[in-house]
Each structure stands twice: as C-alpha cells, then as structure tokens.
C-alpha cells in the first residue's frame, strides 16, 4: 500500500523520523547533520542516489531563532524608504510627462527599495582613514532609487532630479550608472545586464591579488552586488561563479532581487527561479541564503506542523506567484490557502486585509538584515542572498506584479493617490499632481537618522575617486633598446611586445604595478618564460610538483604570482583587466595591465565588456595578438581578425594602433604608459601585434612623434625635391607588401611613389575630425590643419592597404587630397598560407601595384592598357569572384 506521496511503509518511515527527532533533541543540530551526512554517504555507496537535491525547502534559510535583533529603527527606516520610493517614482514620471520619450523604470526600484535601504543603513561602507570603501554594484535601472537617496542626503539638488535622463548640457542625471558621465558619483557601469555580476567577482578576486602581492591592504572591504533575477540568464552573470568559490572569495556577496519578473513577463513562469538559482549557486560552491517570507509568515510556519504550507509553496510556480501577487487577499485566500483544508485552517484567523498584507521576505528589513549579516560573516566562500520580492511593490493596480510592470512609466493622479496612501506619505493632492519631490526638513528625525547611519558607515555612497599617485615610466631607450635599434634583427611584433613587458616588469618602481593577463594563450604568444620569472597568481600557491619542475620555463604558481592566467574565458580575463585598469580609482593604486589575447576574441567577442571598461575610465593596454586576417596563416574563418580596429575606432577613449615595426610598437607603448601612469589621462590603448617574423629596422630619426600621431613617411622613390606619382599607405602586417610594391612600381613601371607607415588610421581620423569641426565652427579663426592633411596634401593618388576591412583605412578618406583607394580584407577568413591569403583578399604587393596603376590611368597619367598589362604580368585572375562574396 502506497500513500499519496509514494510511501509504501508509513510506519517504518515514522520510526526513522522519530529516531532523527530524538537524536537532534539529545545531541543537537550538529548531531542531526552528522547523521544525515552519514546516511547520504551510505545511500551513495548503495547506489541509490548520485547526490542529494541541490536545493532546500521553499522557505527562509535563516530560522526565526537565529534571526537576531534588528539594530535599526524600523519605523524611521520605513518612513525614509517610502520617501525614497516617492522621489524615485516622481523622477521617472516627471521626465516622461514632460518629454514623453525619456524612459526610466519605476517597478524595479519599487521591488528593490528595502534591499537597497538595508544596505545603505547597515552594510555598505564608505572609505575611512584606515581602509577603502566597499564596492557596490547597483542594479542599473534602479538608479532612480540611488538618486532619491542622494537627494535626501543633500548630495544632489532638486534641479538635478528634475533633469533625470537629460544629460546634454551637464544638468541632469544618467539613466544608469555611468562613471564616464557622472565621474564623481558612479563607480561601476552596470547598464548592460551581466556585466555587473562578472565584474563584481573579478573585482573581489583582484582585491585578493593586490593584497597577496603586498601592493595594498584591503582590510575587510566587501564587494556587494545587487542584481536582477532575469539578469542571471546572461552568460556573463554566471560565467565566473566557480572562480569565486574556488578562490574562497568571502569578501563577496550577491543579492539577487527575485521579483520573479523580467521585462516581458515571468523569469520562469512554469518553474521557480529561486530554487533554480539556489541549485546553480550551491553547485557552484556558494553559500546560499534565501529570504522568501516576511516576519508575518513566521507564525504560519510555526503552526505548519504537517508542512502543508511548505508543500503548497513548493508546488506553486512563479507565474502563479505573480498572479497571486497582483491580486488581493480574497483572491489569495481562495486561490492559494483555499486549495487545501489544512492550509485554509492555518489562516482562518486572519482577515482578508491581513492576508493581503503578508509580505515577501525581500520587503522585510529584519529578514534582509539577518541575511546580509550572515553573508558578511560567512567565511571561505562567497554568499548569494536570494530575496523574494514583488515587482512594482506598492504600485497597486497599475504596476504591482503585472505583466507590464517593467514598462510602466506614467501614473495618473488616482494611481498616485493610492501610492501615497499605501505608504502614508505626507503629500497634498497638489503636491501629488505637481509630482513635487519630497525633501526632509532639516530638523526631522528622519534626516538625522539618515545622516547618523551614513556617518557610522563612513560617509556617502556611491562615490568615485580618482586620486592615485602617479607611477614613473623608465626611460624608453633603456627598456626598449632592442626595438629602437633592432638593426634588421628578425622578430615578430608579438615577440617584441612580450619583451617590452618583460623589461618593464624588471623596473623597480613600475614593475610591481604591471599586471600581465592571458586567457590560456601564454605559450601561443611566447610568454612561457613569465611563468618562472613572475609566477602565476594562485591564492593557495602550488600544491603539486609541476611535471616540468626541472625546466627553465617551469609552470610556477605562487601566492604572490604576478601573471593572471585566467583560463579560457576572454570575458573573465577582460574583467580582470578592468579590475586592474580601474585600481587607480577603486583602490587609489595605479596598476598597468597588459591583457594579450587572440585579437579576434576581443572586440568581437567581449566588445560590450570593453565598452563598459571605457565607461569606467579604464587605463591599460589591450594587446590583440596574432592580429590581422592574413598573418594568422592556417587558422581560418573564426580566428582571423579583420574588424577589431574598426570597432576600436568607435570607442572615444580608446587609442588604437596597428604598428608594423618593433620600434613603432615601443614608441606607442611608451607614449601610452606615460599618458596613463604619469599624466593619468582616462584613456586605454589597443595595439595589434603579429606573429610574422621579419627583419626589424631601427627607429628613423625624428619619427617618434609622428608614429604617435598616426603616420610618418618611411621612404620615397621620387627624385629628391620632386613629388612622387603616387602615395602608398601601409599598415601593420601589410606595410611590407606596400614597401615591396613601391619597388615593383619603380622597377617594372617606372612609377615613383612615397611609402607611408600608418600606425593608426583611427588616430588620424580622430584628429582630422576635430580640426575639421573647429574650422567649421570657428570660421573667423585661422584654419588649422590636421596631421593627415599635412602629410597627404597634393593630388597624387593614395593607395592604402591594411589587413583589416576597407572601412578602416577609409576613415581618413575624406581628409586627404587626391584619389583614395583602399585595399583590405573584407570577407570571411580562411586557412591558407599568408601569401595565398593576401592574394585572395587582394591586398598583396601585386594588387597594390595594380591599384596604383589604375588610379594613375584614371587621372590620365597612364594608358589603361598598362593596368591590363600589369594584371596579366602578375598572373592575377581577373575573372575571380570578389573575396567578400564567398
Ligand atoms: C545586455 C542587456 N540586455 C537587455 C537589457 C534591457 N533590460 C533592462 S532591464 C531588463 C529586465 C531586467 O529584469 P531583471 O534582471 O529581472 O530585473 P528587475 O527589473 O526585474 O529587477 C532588460 C531586459 C539590458 N539592460 N542589458
Ligand atoms: Mg526581475
């Protein structure tokens, strides 16, 4: 005989349960846990189970007995929170009433207000004399709540709130946290979902790195991240969870606002996102604390001796929870408690109003406080607090747990009155109608409390600092002599940059601040020597005898290791880079990260992280290695990069270069290092380096400044004093093809040419754009001339060849004199030799010659027959289809 839950022998079951009860009564909780562990082991030996369920019952993790007293004044905190809610709401509604299309969100902060306030009143610490501030990642579209608080604290003026989402002209507030646009306020850009969670983990990890390397002490600074439950679907959100537990990051807490909804509807309508996240985080090794039910549920659970309530909660899917949340007490009574007679009896003493008012845990200060306190006290691993809330909490019929809650941006007067009454706000009907912001009177208890709490926690948050002592860069001709005076020595620019980094690492002042980062490609780029030289960072050192212990290049892990070997995660490595690149601001210690990676897996794969890095004013080097679409020989379609420079050119504070020679590279690295570490400009550098070995010339006298500006003349076959017939521009990997083409033009066709090495089309274009604009807007001033205009005046045709798509050299096309022809690598990459690929993409020396002759024939300097002769002479298949079509 089986009963309803499959129990074939209820008597025996009861004996086991009684035995467990008796043991816990006699030996306490620990004894109970021990017995369960033993039973589980035995069950595994017997092969009954592989593992136990990785989630717990649908209730709070912290039992009432362990909750502890609340240290704050609940009444005052509730009143303050209500005011925050109002101001945040008013900010969004006003912006949309006045301008219609400015957007903004109400329902998200409405669900997160208690989470934020518990953090602000009791946990999020600002920096003080002895240690830096906690790091707090705020859910981006709850920014109005953070502004509302800053307004009450007197940090933001009413005018700024009134100009929410109106940033042009510098009056208003950013939609989301943007350090670029509010550099004294926001620290971390979180607007793109997923970037906050992965950044928080790597920031917490970098704090350990900095400490283990003896660079700065972190005390008990903590990283807090408030994220959405929908946001956890982003791959980046969960990509680094195991890193956090593996490295025992107990300085890290995620608080996930589980309002069960995202933008369109429920996060898991037919499931339970909280249970799913619990399994995920437990599996990843995190400490999980669920905060599901508010204090008024405690008596119900206490009387739920047969677990009917718990069973019903476990059986209710999120779509249903949302409907329950959107409806009143009567609905909840009939559609939830009424489903089982025992359950109905449990709430028989409650009025419908009381049932309606039953709170979810994420709206209960006491429950949240207990969870965050436990999170901060937890040792040897990170904690996630899963807080169950209601989206649009308090918005009533227009937005509470509605499918459309997320998009609700306008409320009519009746809805505002409901909101006011719901939160007991002292606002007249006129104040409501005008959406007046609510400022706390100077002598109010609330304001005093607010100030007291923040003073106790060290001051205001969020605050972004940018004071860090500059770090001197050693003289270029010391650490880069091998590159400046290469004297035709053969090497690739990848080898050269690794050597530069190796030399900078040896500098006593700068060396310790250098952070080399790889995503499992150190050997690919010839960096294996760094394993031994500086060690690979590991918080536990090296617990094994490396297989290659006897080797000069042995794989050495160390607690003070300097190299960050991130494994195959470009997103993780980039996040580490950001942590290092923002250390000047987050920790007041300037670091100089070099993240070197396959260039195709940079802007294309983690471009959004790079965009966020730009937003947070990162300073450091990104090195796109083995770059270009034809230098990477056999690698093929998904590895060969022909586009990264185009994307890099769209990022305002990214300085991107495609150098051909080791000396160009050295000059650029030196300039960048000084700009970022000595002058402390908020820029970062993207430099592509190649794996092609060739003889490296020495730095020509006087070329250094022009290398930084973006182009310089390498050679000319014209008679001195006379203009060349054509100007050839070459960049990076293709410069040598262009040099060869100049010789062919001279020898085969008696055409003179100049060859220019273009280290950066994007830098040339940036300056030219700026000059063009200044000349346009200030026509009365004497016109300026950009570097590229100075270099490329005149009318001789210009042929520009690169290993990137044609749109990259075309960035300068409108600023030059003469016809402009671009050769590049539009199309899919494919496996073959470099020579075959350059033939295929039509950017080799032969095509440079043909393009030059064609440009000259178009201007009437040569007969068209010469072009045809060249096509034939060089064996070019004129009938081949264009490379970008197949
Ligand atoms: C990468 C990315 N994709 C989409 C969005 C647009 N977006 C902003 S908020 C949001 C829903 C967020 O849901 P959730 O994380 O559950 O937060 P909630 O508002 O429910 O607290 C979406 C889709 C975004 N900001 N970033
Ligand atoms: Mg949500």
Q: Measured in angstroms, how far is the CA atom of residue 169 from the centroid of ligand 1? A: 28
Q: Do residues 799 and 726 lie in contact, with contact meaning Cβ atoms separated by under 8 Å?
A: yes
Strand, coil or helix: 118: helix
Strand, coil or helix: 224: strand
Atom of ligand 1 nearest to the CA of 234: 1
- Name 756's Cβ contacts closer than 8 Å, sequence gap at least 6: 711, 712, 713, 714, 727, 728, 729, 730, 791, 792
277: nearest Cα among 363, 383, 391, 193: 383
Atom of ligand 1 nearest to the CA of 232: 15
- Name 298's Cβ contacts closer than 8 Å, sequence gap at least 6: 64
Q: Please work out whether the CB of residue 192 comes within 6 Å of at least one atom of ligand 1.
A: yes
Q: Which of 108, 140, 267, 407 to mutate to test the pocket of ligand 1 (most atoms within 8 A of CB)?
A: 108
Q: Please work out whether the CB of residue 237 comes within 6 Å of at least one atom of ligand 1.
A: no
Q: Is the dihedral of CA 412, 418, 422, 424 positive or negative?
A: positive
Q: Please work out whether the CB of residue 258 comes within 6 Å of at least one atom of ligand 1.
A: no
Q: Measured in angstroms, how far is the CA atom of residue 192 from the centroid of ligand 1? A: 8
Q: Measured in angstroms, how far is the CA atom of residue 461 from the centroid of ligand 2? A: 24
Ligand at shortest distance from the CA of 104: 1
Ligand 1 atom 23: residue of nearest CA: 263
Q: Measured in angstroms, how far is the CA atom of residue 400 from the centroid of ligand 2? A: 13
pLDDT higher than 50, residue 1: no
Burial class (CB in 10 A: 0-12, 13-18, 19+), 581: buried
Note the pLDDT of residue 97.
Answer: 84
pLDDT higher than 60, residue 66: yes
| CA 642/CA 311 separation, integer angstroms | 57
Note the pLDDT of residue 43.
Answer: 84
- At what angle are helices 143-152 and 107-118 packed, to 10 degrees? 50
Ligand 1 atom 13: residue of nearest CA: 262
Q: Please work out whether the CB of residue 556 comes within 6 Å of at least one atom of ligand 1.
A: no
Ligand at shortest distance from the CA of 230: 1
Q: Please work out whether the CB of residue 229 comes within 6 Å of at least one atom of ligand 1.
A: yes
Ligand at shortest distance from the CA of 111: 1
pTM (whole model) above 0.85 = yes
Q: Which of 143, 262, 393, 408 to mutate to test the pocket of ligand 1 (most atoms within 8 A of CB)?
A: 262
Note the pLDDT of residue 2.
Answer: 43
pLDDT higher than 90, residue 42: no
Q: Which of 141, 267, 608 to mutate to test the pocket of ligand 1 (most atoms within 8 A of CB)?
A: 141
Q: Is the dihedral of CA 98, 100, 101, 103 positive or negative?
A: positive
Q: Measured in angstroms, how far is the CA atom of residue 61 from the centroid of ligand 2? A: 21
Q: What confidence category does residue 50 fall into, taking pLDDT thresholds of 50, 70 and 90?
A: confident
- The 8-class DSSP code of residue 507 comes to S
| CA 795/CA 791 separation, integer angstroms | 12
| CA 22/CA 246 separation, integer angstroms | 37
Task: State the Cα torsion 173-179-180-181 to the nearest 10°.
Answer: 10
Atom of ligand 1 nearest to the CA of 406: 19
Strand, coil or helix: 879: coil
| CA 28/CA 340 separation, integer angstroms | 33
Q: Which of 257, 263, 269 to mutate to test the pocket of ligand 1 (most atoms within 8 A of CB)?
A: 263
pLDDT higher than 90, residue 873: yes
Ligand 1 atom 3: residue of nearest CA: 193
Q: What confidence category does residue 620 fall into, taking pLDDT thresholds of 50, 70 and 90?
A: very high
| CA 622/CA 731 separation, integer angstroms | 18
Kindly report the backbone phi and psi dihedral angles of residue 6, in degrees, each rounded to the nearest multiple of 5, phi listed first. 85, 15
Q: Per-residue pLDDT tens for 523-534?
A: 999 999 999 999
Q: Please work out whether the CB of residue 261 comes within 6 Å of at least one atom of ligand 1.
A: yes
Q: Is 600 left (phi over 0), alpha (psi -120 to 50) or beta?
A: alpha
621: nearest Cα among 480, 528, 518, 471: 518
Q: Which of 231, 267, 274, 571 to mutate to test the pocket of ligand 1 (most atoms within 8 A of CB)?
A: 231
In terms of DSSP bridges, do strands 694-696 and 489-491 run parallel, antiparallel, or are they unpaired? antiparallel
Go through 678-703 and write b for each residue having 16 or more CB atoms within 10 A of its CB, e for each that does not: eebebbbbbbbbbbbebebbebbeeb
Neighbours of 214 (CB within 10 A): 9
| CA 499/CA 526 separation, integer angstroms | 10
Ligand at shortest distance from the CA of 139: 1
Token pair listed for 537: 């960072």
Atom of ligand 1 nearest to the CA of 231: 15
Q: Per-residue pLDDT tens for 699-740?
A: 999 999 999 999 999 999 999 989 999 999 999 999 999 999
Neighbours of 582 (CB within 10 A): 26
Q: Do residues 835 and 806 lie in contact, with contact meaning Cβ atoms separated by under 8 Å?
A: no
Q: Do residues 733 and 630 lie in contact, with contact meaning Cβ atoms separated by under 8 Å?
A: yes
pLDDT higher than 60, residue 3: no
Q: Which single residue is written with the structure tokens 């008597």?
A: 11
Q: Please work out whether the CB of residue 262 comes within 6 Å of at least one atom of ligand 1.
A: yes
What mean pLDDT is predicted for residues 630-652? 96
Q: Please work out whether the CB of residue 257 comes within 6 Å of at least one atom of ligand 1.
A: yes
Ligand at shortest distance from the CA of 108: 1
Ligand at shortest distance from the CA of 107: 1
Q: Please work out whether the CB of residue 141 comes within 6 Å of at least one atom of ligand 1.
A: yes
Atom of ligand 1 nearest to the CA of 228: 15
Note the pLDDT of residue 5.
Answer: 63
Q: Please work out whether the CB of residue 318 comes within 6 Å of at least one atom of ligand 1.
A: no
Q: Do residues 465 and 187 lie in contact, with contact meaning Cβ atoms separated by under 8 Å?
A: no
Percent of the chain whose predicted confidence (pLDDT) is above 70: 99
Q: Do residues 852 and 728 lie in contact, with contact meaning Cβ atoms separated by under 8 Å?
A: yes
376: nearest Cα among 541, 252, 271: 252
Across the chain, what does the average pLDDT equal?
Answer: 96
Strand, coil or helix: 727: strand
Token pair listed for 346: 């449990």
Token pair listed for 739: 């040099």
Q: Measured in angstroms, how far is the CA atom of residue 232 from the centroid of ligand 2? A: 9
Note the pLDDT of residue 100.
Answer: 76
Q: Please work out whether the CB of residue 108 comes within 6 Å of at least one atom of ligand 1.
A: yes
| CA 480/CA 500 separation, integer angstroms | 6
What does the radius of gyration of the chain's CA atoms come to, in whole angstroms? Answer: 32
Q: Per-residue pLDDT tens for 494-513?
A: 999 999 999 999 999 999 99
Note the pLDDT of residue 96.
Answer: 87
- At what angle are helices 365-377 and 74-99 packed, to 10 degrees? 100
Q: What confidence category does residue 407 fall into, taking pLDDT thresholds of 50, 70 and 90?
A: confident
Q: Per-residue pLDDT tens for 85-110?
A: 999 999 999 988 877 778 889 999 99
Q: Measured in angstroms, how far is the CA atom of residue 262 from the centroid of ligand 1? A: 6
Q: Measured in angstroms, how far is the CA atom of residue 230 from the centroid of ligand 2? A: 5
Ligand at shortest distance from the CA of 405: 1
Q: Please work out whether the CB of residue 228 comes within 6 Å of at least one atom of ligand 1.
A: yes
Ligand at shortest distance from the CA of 231: 1
Atom of ligand 1 nearest to the CA of 105: 19
Neighbours of 30 (CB within 10 A): 9
């Amino acid at each position: 005989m089986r009963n309803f839950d499959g129990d074939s022998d209820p008597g025996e079951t009861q004996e086991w349960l009684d035995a467990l009860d008796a043991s816990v009564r006699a030996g306490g909780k620990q004894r109970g846990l021990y017995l369960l562990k033993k039973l589980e082991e035995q069950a595994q030996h017997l092969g009954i189970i592989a593992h136990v369920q990785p989630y717990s019952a649908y209730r709070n993790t912290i039992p009432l007995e362990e909750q502890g007293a609340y240290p704050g004044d609940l009444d005052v905190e509730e009143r303050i929170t209500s005011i925050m809610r109002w101001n945040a709401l008013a900010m969004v509604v006003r912006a949309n009433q006045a301008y219609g299309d400015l957007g903004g969100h109400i329902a998200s902060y409405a669900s997160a207000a208690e989470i934020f306030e518990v953090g602000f009143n009791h946990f999020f610490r600002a920096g003080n004399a002895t240690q830096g501030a906690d790091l707090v990642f705020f859910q981006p579209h709850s920014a109005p709540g953070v502004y509302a608080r800053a307004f009450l604290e007197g940090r933001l003026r009413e005018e700024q709130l009134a100009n929410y989402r109106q940033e042009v002209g510098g009056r208003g507030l950013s939609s989301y946290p943007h350090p670029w646009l509010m550099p004294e306020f926001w620290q971390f850009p979180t607007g793109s979902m997923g970037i906050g969670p992965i950044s928080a983990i790597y920031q917490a990890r970098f704090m350990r790195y900095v400490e283990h390397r003896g660079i700065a002490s972190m005390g008990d600074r903590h990283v807090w991240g408030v994220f959405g439950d929908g946001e956890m679907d982003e791959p980046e959100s969960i990509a680094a969870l195991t890193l956090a537990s593996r490295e025992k990051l107990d300085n890290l807490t995620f608080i996930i606002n589980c309002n069960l909804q995202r933008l369109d509807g429920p996060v898991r309508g037919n499931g339970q996102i909280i249970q799913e996240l619990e399994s995920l985080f437990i599996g990843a090794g995190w400490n999980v604390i669920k905060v599901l039910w508010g204090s008024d549920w405690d008596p119900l659970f206490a009387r739920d001796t047969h677990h009917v309530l718990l069973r019903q909660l476990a059986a209710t899917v999120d779509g249903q929870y949302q409907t329950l949340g959107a409806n009143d007490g009567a609905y909840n009574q009939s559609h939830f408690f009424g489903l089982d007679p025992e359950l109905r009896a449990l709430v028989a003493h409650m009025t419908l109003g009381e049932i309606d008012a039953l709170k979810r845990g994420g709206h209960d200060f006491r429950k949240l406080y207990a969870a965050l306190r436990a999170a901060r006290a937890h040792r040897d691993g990170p904690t996630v607090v899963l807080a169950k809330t209601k989206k649009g909490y308090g918005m009533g019929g227009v937005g509470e747990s509605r499918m459309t809650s997320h998009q609700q941006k306008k409320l009519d007067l009746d809805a505002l009155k409901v909101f006011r009454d719901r939160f007991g706000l002292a606002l007249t009907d006129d104040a409501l109608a005008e959406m007046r912001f609510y400022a706390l009177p100077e002598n109010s208890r609330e304001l005093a409390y607010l100030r007291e709490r923040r003073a106790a926690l060290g001051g205001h948050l969020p605050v972004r600092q940018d004071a860090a002592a500059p770090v001197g860069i050693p003289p270029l001709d010391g650490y880069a002599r091998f590159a400046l005076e290469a004297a035709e020595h053969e090497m690739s620019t990848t080898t050269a940059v690794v050597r530069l980094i190796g030399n900078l690492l040896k500098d006593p002042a700068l060396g310790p601040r250098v952070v080399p980062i790889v995503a499992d490609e150190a050997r690919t780029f010839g960096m294996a020597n760094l394993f031994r030289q500086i060690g690979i960072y590991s918080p536990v050192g090296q617990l094994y005898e490396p297989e290659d212990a006897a080797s000069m290049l042995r794989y050495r892990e160390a607690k003070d290791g300097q190299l960050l070997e991130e494994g195959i995660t470009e997103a993780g490595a980039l996040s580490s880079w950001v942590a290092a690149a923002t250390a000047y601001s987050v920790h007041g210690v300037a670091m100089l990260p070099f993240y070197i990676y396959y260039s195709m897996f940079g802007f294309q794969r983690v471009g959004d992280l790079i965009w966020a890095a730009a937003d947070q004013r990162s300073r450091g080097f990104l090195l796109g290695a083995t770059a270009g679409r034809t230098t990477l020989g056999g690698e093929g379609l998904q590895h060969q990069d022909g586009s990264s420079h185009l994307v890099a050119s769209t990022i305002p504070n990214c300085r991107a270069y495609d150098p051909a020679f080791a000396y160009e590279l050295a000059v650029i690295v030196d300039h960048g290092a000084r700009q970022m570490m000595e002058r402390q400009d908020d820029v970062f550098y993207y430099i592509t380096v190649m794996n092609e070995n060739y003889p490296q010339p020495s730095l020509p006298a006087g070329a250094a400044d022009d290398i930084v500006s973006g182009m310089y003349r390498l050679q000319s076959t014209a008679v001195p004093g006379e203009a060349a017939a054509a100007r050839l521009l070459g960049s990076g990997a293709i410069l040598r093809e262009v040099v060869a083409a100049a010789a062919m033009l001279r020898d085969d066709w008696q055409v003179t040419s100049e060859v220019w090495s273009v280290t950066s089309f994007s830098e040339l274009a940036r300056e030219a754009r700026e000059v063009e604009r200044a000349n346009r807007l200030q026509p009365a001033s004497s016109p300026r001339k950009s570097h590229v205009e100075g270099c490329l005046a005149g009318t001789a045709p210009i042929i520009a060849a690169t290993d990137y798509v044609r749109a990259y050299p075309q960035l300068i096309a409108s600023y030059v004199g003469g016809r402009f022809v671009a050769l590049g690598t539009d199309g899919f990459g494919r496996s073959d030799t470099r020579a075959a690929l350059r033939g295929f993409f039509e950017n080799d020396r032969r095509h440079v010659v043909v393009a030059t002759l064609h440009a000259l024939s178009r201007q009437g300097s040569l007969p068209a027959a010469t072009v045809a002769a060249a096509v034939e002479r060089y064996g070019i298949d004129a009938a081949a289809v264009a490379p970008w079509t197949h």
